[in-house]
Amino acid sequence: MELKDKLIASFIAFENKGSVDLDSAIHAIRTKAIQNFEEEGFPSKKDEEWKYTNLKSLLRQDYSLFNKKDNTVDYNTIKPYLISDIDSYNLIFIDGVFNSFLSETTHDESDICVLSAALSKPKYNILIDNYFNTIAGDKNSLSALNTAFTKEGAYINIPKNTIVSKPIQILNFSTGNEKEVLLQPRNLIMVGENSHVQIIERHQNLSDNCTFTNAVTEIFVNKRAIVDYYKIQNDTDNSSLIDSTFVQQKQHSVASVNTFSFGGKLTRNNLEFQHEGERITSNLNGISILKNSQHVDNHTLVEHKFPNCESHELYKGIYADSSTGVFNGKVIVRRAAQKTNAFQQNNNILMNDGATINAKPQLEIFADDVKCSHGCTIGQLDESALFYMQSRGIPKKEAKALLLYAFGNDVIEKIKIPQLKTIITGLIADKLGVNLGFDL
């Protein structure tokens, strides 16, 4: 049976299994979402937005949709993936199921807990009605699919005037107890006026079995709030991830999403910013370092609808072996969005023939008093710089790594959590196959 049919057939079983009231709003949203998915189906290469990313091989697998049993892992297994030397709130999901034993949640200063609880308890009803699925909508079939099977994920609600004292880590693990598994985590994040929060998100497969994650995150950033979001994607070669993140910003807010893609068989990041007010700043940063036959597709959309907003986009890519990188950045400036500053930059290095980069930096501009630019480059390391370093006794491999590190440094510098910066530099050194013996 094809995956699409299987999913549609399982929907009723899923609905019955859950404890959701059939009269509730969430039931209606799910039903509509599955209908949308049924109409649209999975995107194919004919779809312009999916021109460079083919899901075919991914969809051929026979995924298990529901856990047959609850799986547990101990702290030592997950420790390497956790930034353990900082105090943080942790939300740990094992095969899509929340693990309260490993997690650290709170209801004190803010609600940092899980979506399943929020969906089932009446006191959250009003927030769910007002926010859930309002920006993810059913625009694309994959987020519709996620909506239809929404069950678990992070639920973060920061009230106004709150600076969350420590970062929040959201970790999704898959244990590989099933041969092929489809996970659909769903995160809902609401940040109140004048508040500040830092969030780190990671998906990790703990086995060599095949995992396909279709994640959706909705982030609401209220007036003057600041949100820093970090995505670490360094999964095994059998794991694929389609991540759709939707950010809605109100006036004077600042939202930054940083994506670090170092691994995984196929990674697709859909990142969408919607503006609902003036003087908003949106930052989109990313580094991809790929090898083997890994594939990363960064799809971003920033829609400027109000005047005096800014967006800054910076994506760097280093591609080796037969890996493929895709960058599709779209900036739309609507007629009302005068005095917009929108910058987009995409730099790529191909390490050898056989690696591929497909870039499509798009601008659609309907307002005249704007400053918009995009730049896209593809090139190599500077031979003379390499020679210079070698002539000073730095071995070629290290010299290359240093240059590549410097290439990505613009993005690394934007990380605001020092411990995270150390971890990312470590990961980069690891990817480049060097041990520099000092902290970069």
Partner 1 sequence: MNKYTEDDLKKELETQEYEYGFYTDIEADKFPVGLNEDIVIAISKKKNEPQWMTDWRLDAFRIWKTMEEPDWSNVNYTKPDFQALSYYSAPIQKKQLDSLDEVDPELLKTFEKLGISIGEQKRLSNVAMDIVIDSVSVATTFKKTLAKKGIIFMPISEAIQEHPELVRKYIGSVVPKTDNFYAALNSAVFSDGSFCYIPKGVSCPMELSTYFRINEGGTGQFERTLVIADEGSFVSYLEGCTAPSRDENQLHAAVVELIAMDKAEIKYSTVQNWYPGNSKGVGGVYNFVTKRGICHDYAKISWTQVETGSAVTWKYPSCILKGDYSVGEFYSIAVTNNYQQADTGTKMIHLGKNTRSTIISKGISAGHSHNSYRGLVKVAKNASNARNFTQCDSLLMGDLCGAHTFPYIENKSASSQIEHEATTSKIGEDQLFYCNQRGIDTEKAIALIVNGFSKEVLNKLPMEFAVEAQKLLEISLEGSVG
351 contributes a contact to partner 1 by CB under 8 A:
yes
Question: Around 159, how many Cα atoms within 13 Å sit in the side-chain half-sphere?
Answer: 6
Q: The tokens of 28 are what?
A: 């209606």
373 contributes a contact to partner 1 by CB under 8 A:
yes
Near partner 1 by CB under 8 A, which window of 6-14, 265-273, 284-292, 376-384? 376-384
Measured in whole angstroms, how far is the alpha carbon of residue 234 from the centre of its chain?
Answer: 12
Among residues 46 and 107, whose Cβ is nearest to partner 1? Answer: 46
107 burial type by CB count under 10 A (0-12 exposed, 13-18 middle, 19+ buried): exposed
| Cβ 357 to partner 1 shortest distance, Å | 5
| Cβ 390 to partner 1 shortest distance, Å | 20
Rounded CA separation 182/67 (Å): 10
Q: How many CB atoms lie within 10 A of CB 1?
A: 8
In 3D space, the residue among 204, 181, 149 whose CA is nearest the CA of residue 68 turns out to be 181
23 contributes a contact to partner 1 by CB under 8 A:
no
Rounded CA separation 334/372 (Å): 12
338 contributes a contact to partner 1 by CB under 8 A:
yes
| Cβ 294 to partner 1 shortest distance, Å | 16
**What residue ranges in 159-291 does DSSP mark as E strands?**
168-174, 180-183, 186-191, 196-205, 210-221, 226-233, 239-250, 254-261, 266-276, 281-290
Among residues 227 and 342, whose Cβ is nearest to partner 1? Answer: 342
Which listed residue (79, 335, 396, 397) binds partner 1 by CB under 8 A?
335
Pairing type for strands 111-114 and 154-158 reads: antiparallel
Report the chain's terminal Cα–Cα distance, integer Å.
Answer: 51
Among residues 292 and 373, whose Cβ is nearest to partner 1? Answer: 373
Among residues 46 and 392, whose Cβ is nearest to partner 1? Answer: 46
Which listed residue (160, 371, 396, 397) binds partner 1 by CB under 8 A?
371
Please report the sign of the dihedral spanned by the C-alpha atoms of residue 412, residue 413, residue 415, residue 417.
positive
| Cβ 370 to partner 1 shortest distance, Å | 6
Which listed residue (356, 409, 419, 422) binds partner 1 by CB under 8 A?
356
Rounded CA separation 76/95 (Å): 17
Within 178-207, the residues that bind partner 1 by CB under 8 A are: none
Near partner 1 by CB under 8 A, which window of 60-68, 167-175, 250-258, 361-369? 361-369
Which residues on neighbouring strands pair with residue 211, listed in sequence order? 181, 239
Among residues 26 and 349, whose Cβ is nearest to partner 1? Answer: 349
Tell me which H or E stretch contains 425.
helix 418-431
Tell me, by CB under 8 A, how many residues bind partner 1. 35
Which listed residue (25, 59, 376, 427) binds partner 1 by CB under 8 A?
376
Among residues 190 and 320, whose Cβ is nearest to partner 1? Answer: 320
Within 380-409, the residues that bind partner 1 by CB under 8 A are: 380
358 contributes a contact to partner 1 by CB under 8 A:
yes
Query: For partner 1, what does the binding mask look like between residues 31 and 60, x meaning CB under 8 A?
Result: -----------------x------------
Whether the Cβ atoms of residue 206 and residue 175 lie closer than 8 Å to each other: yes
Near partner 1 by CB under 8 A, which window of 143-151, 205-213, 360-368, 413-421? 360-368
Q: For binding to partner 1 (CB under 8 A), which residues are involved?
A: 48, 335, 338, 348, 350-380
